[in-house]
Every structure is written in C-alpha cells, then in structure tokens.
Amino acid sequence: MKHKMLLGGMAAAIAVCSMPSFGRTAATRPADNEVILHAWTWSFDTIAANMPLIAKSGYDYVQTSPAQACYVGDGGGRALFSKPGDSIMGKWYYYYQPTDWTIGNYMLGNRDSFKAMCDSAYKYGVKVIVDVLPNHTAIDHHAVLPGLDHAVGGHDKLYHANGFTEIKDYNDRLQCTTGQMGGLPDVNTENPDFQYYYLQYVNDLINLGARGFRYDTAKHIGLPSDPLDAKSKKNNFWAVATGKEGAHGLSMLMPDSIYIYGEVLQDKNTKETEYAEYFDQTASSYGHALREALASGDAKNHDIINWHHPVAPEHLVSWVESHDTYCNAHESAGLTDDQIRAGWVILASRQGGRPLFYSRPAGSTRENYWGNNRIGARGNDEFFHPEVVAVNYFRDKMSGLPESITVSDKGDLVQVGRGNKGASLVNISNKKVKAKMSTALPDGVYTDGVHGTIFKVKNGTLTGNVAPLTSYILYASDVK
C-alpha cells in the first residue's frame, strides 16, 4: 500500500488503498498503483536503515540484489567496479555468480541482516523482492560449495549436458536454455534434486519475510515446449518455481501471496506468451524506445505509447533503465538524472506496467558512472526527488482510471492523462516550452504541487510554461 506521508513541499492529496492480493494466479492485481525501488547493491542493513524514506517516497516494493552465497572475487573487495591498480578492488557482478543457494553473502549481508531488513519492510508496509538466479553458477565452477554438489547428486549432475558449451545463437532455444552464457556454466534446473534444494532456499527467504522474486536470466530456463537437454526428462522448472508443482514432496510456500517476475529480454524467439503462463515479465523493448525518446528529446518519432510486448501491460515490469543497461554496456548511463527522472514520470503516470526505479550509484556522474564506487552504500538521492515522489503518489491515486497519452507536435512535451481526474505533463527537451495541448482535464486553473507552476485549461486546451526536463502533476480535485 502507498504510505500517507509526503516529503516537505508536497501538496498532492493521497487516497487510501487496500492491501493488494498478489500471485500470478490472482484474477486481478493492482499493477497500476504499484512501484518498485531497485535498491541495487545496497546492503541489507542499508535498505533497512532507509526503509522509512522508501515508504515515505511511495514505493510498494524494494528489490534487493542477489542474496545467495556467491563467488568471492578480487580478494573480497567491495568496489562496484575496479580496475587494476585501484586502491579498493571488487566487482558488482560477483553476486550474480552463485556458489550455493543459502542466504547471505560477503557483499550484502548475512541471514540475520536479511531478516532484520524484512522485519523493517513489514513495519513500514513495504514488500521485499529478492533477485534470484537458479540458471547458473560461478564462472569458476570449482568454487561451488560441497553442500550444493552433495545435494544434487554430485558435481556433474549440477549442470546440463550442454552446460559448458557457450551459447552462439540466443534464438536457438536448446542453446539458449541449456548452454553456457558469458562463461557462466548452465545449471540443470530440471534435476529434481536441484529443484528440491533450490526450493529450500526460496522457502527460507519467504519464511524470513520475502514477498517477491525477480528471476534473473529467466529466458535461459526452458519451457515445456522447449527441446530437452540430454540430462533432463521434462522442462518443469517454472511449474516448480511458481508453486504449480512440487519436487520430492516439497512445494513453494504461499504461492498466491508471492509476486514473481522474470527477466525475459525480448528477441526473435523468446516465447513471451508461454512465459506469461508462469510469471510477469520485463518490458525491455519498451524501455529501449523510451530511452531513445529521452536521448533525442523527441517522443513523436519514437513510439512510447505501444508497449512493444505481446503480453498485457498489467503483467509487465517496466523501467526507464535497468542495472544491466546502466552497467554492462553503459547503454543508458549517458542519460542525465534529469532525463531519467522525466522518463520515470511518463512511465509511472501510465496505467499499465509495474514500474521499477533503478537506484544509480551515489556520486555518479555522466563522466564517472560508478560514483563513490562502494557496494553496500545507498544509491543517489534521485529515488526520493520531489518529482519522483509526486508521480509515485499520483499513480496510486489514479489507480483504475484509463490512460490517454498526448505528444506535442514537436515531440518535446508528453501528457499522460488518467480519465478526467489528473494528468502529468513532462518536458523531455532541454529547452523551455509553451504548452498548448488538448486535455481531458476540466476547465480551470491548476497549480502543480512540486514547483507551484500555474496551468490553465479552457475549452479542453491546456496551456502554461514548462521548464526544461521538468515534470508537473495536475489533479482535477485541485482545480480553481
């Protein structure tokens, strides 16, 4: 549920909403009033300490980085990304290299700190999503801990027959779902012994307070229609992981109370509609289109209305950028914080999707992407910028109302209307603009609650002066 506290200067009226029902099997879920904060590389203690601010800023979920045991690289250093000769070594992606499926790692914290974080989340009405990755182990597979090898019947049974063969064609489903990706050997997720062991990890997370999972590299785990690896009898991992089936008599706890979505990066042969039978998915193509519009300052020649996905938008997790687009090829890292924020207001104003706000590193600039370069620290202040908070609450208040998106003739202004009850207005250009757009808002004078800017609506036309890369939230209830 949204939290009924606003940062200083906020003037939006907030409607009370009921605690939602989660789970892929639920008939309806309020995707159009929820938002996720991706607390990327924040430690469990850091997330817990910032939970009051997370709640006050209007987030329904906080997503952690991977919590399982992981490869200890660069001598256990905690730099986000180091180069030879740096005073502190480390790489953020080591926690994406599992050595066991037990709670706690040297980068984010131990089991007790994970529980304390979940307890804090419960206190403030926030739900915890954990990034999980059963698809592969550490590149150095000899670093896998003995308990994992024993649990699955031996080291050779931990991996697919194809698990050490590098993927060459990501649209070849056998390669994609059973092959090695970027040097990461592919786990035999169809091995019932592995499924049983992995479910113990998932259930432990749930018992400690987790209420959601983000499945990393989800499209690399096979579906029932996919070809079988030589070591597998059936592709049933997703049925097991989502509580539809058990493994050796063990099933996932609380399947109707856990929100699950998967990283299914779109390509020619990703089978989005079949994955949708099990979990929600990432709207990666939409994020790309939105970033192109932001980079050019032109939403007219880039389609940001179509979701670019065959699955209904209420089953999509949307983003302006993800940790991968920021870190891996730095695809989105060149966009300024102002541009990212403008995109967020568009995204969070929309009726569809469940938006995820990626927390960039503290101190980061467009010349220094890693900023203060420390794993465990809180990200920069953008997640509680007044414009971000305002639209988080706007999304909650507009829940259930249909959207209408209007783009100015030059493509620099985007208006997202929600019925005739409210609208956001976003200037994605770096120039001042005189707004003159059709709108469903009632005639009258409006004052934006963040900047105090005045807009007028007369005969269905919205007018006003809009600052560069700035957003405004207008409520019909505030009309004069």
Task: Judge whether 351 and 339 are in contact, CB under 8 Å.
Answer: no
In a domain, 287, yes or no: yes
In a domain, 172, yes or no: yes
Would you say residue 26 has pLDDT above 70? no
In a domain, 138, yes or no: yes
- 184: closest CA among 148, 143, 214, 145? 143
CA 280 – CA 263 distance, rounded (Å): 9
In a domain, 89, yes or no: yes
pLDDT digits (tens, 9 = 90+) for 377-427: 999 999 999 999 999 999 999 999 999 999 999 999 999 999 999 999 999
Q: Residue 409 burial (CB < 10 Å; 0-12/13-18/19+)?
A: exposed
Two tokens, residue 310: 């065959």
pLDDT at 21: 31
- 151: closest CA among 216, 102, 215? 102
In a domain, 442, yes or no: no
Count structural domains, the chain.
1
Task: Say which CATH number the domain at 362 has.
Answer: 3.20.20.80
pLDDT digits (tens, 9 = 90+) for 61-71: 999 999 999 99
In a domain, 308, yes or no: yes
Residue 55: how many CB atoms within 10 A of its CB?
A: 22
**Considering the entire predicted model, what is its pTM?**
0.94
CA 409 – CA 438 distance, rounded (Å): 12
Q: Report residue 32's pLDDT band, with 50, 70 and 90 as the boundaries.
A: confident
Domain hosting residue 229, numbered range: 31-401
In a domain, 62, yes or no: yes
In a domain, 265, yes or no: yes
Active-site residue set: 216, 263
pLDDT digits (tens, 9 = 90+) for 37-93: 999 999 999 999 999 999 999 999 999 999 999 999 999 999 999 999 999 999 999
* Distant-in-sequence, close-in-space partners of 104: CB < 8 Å, separation ≥ 6: 67, 69, 110, 111, 113, 114
Q: Report residue 24's pLDDT band, with 50, 70 and 90 as the boundaries.
A: very low
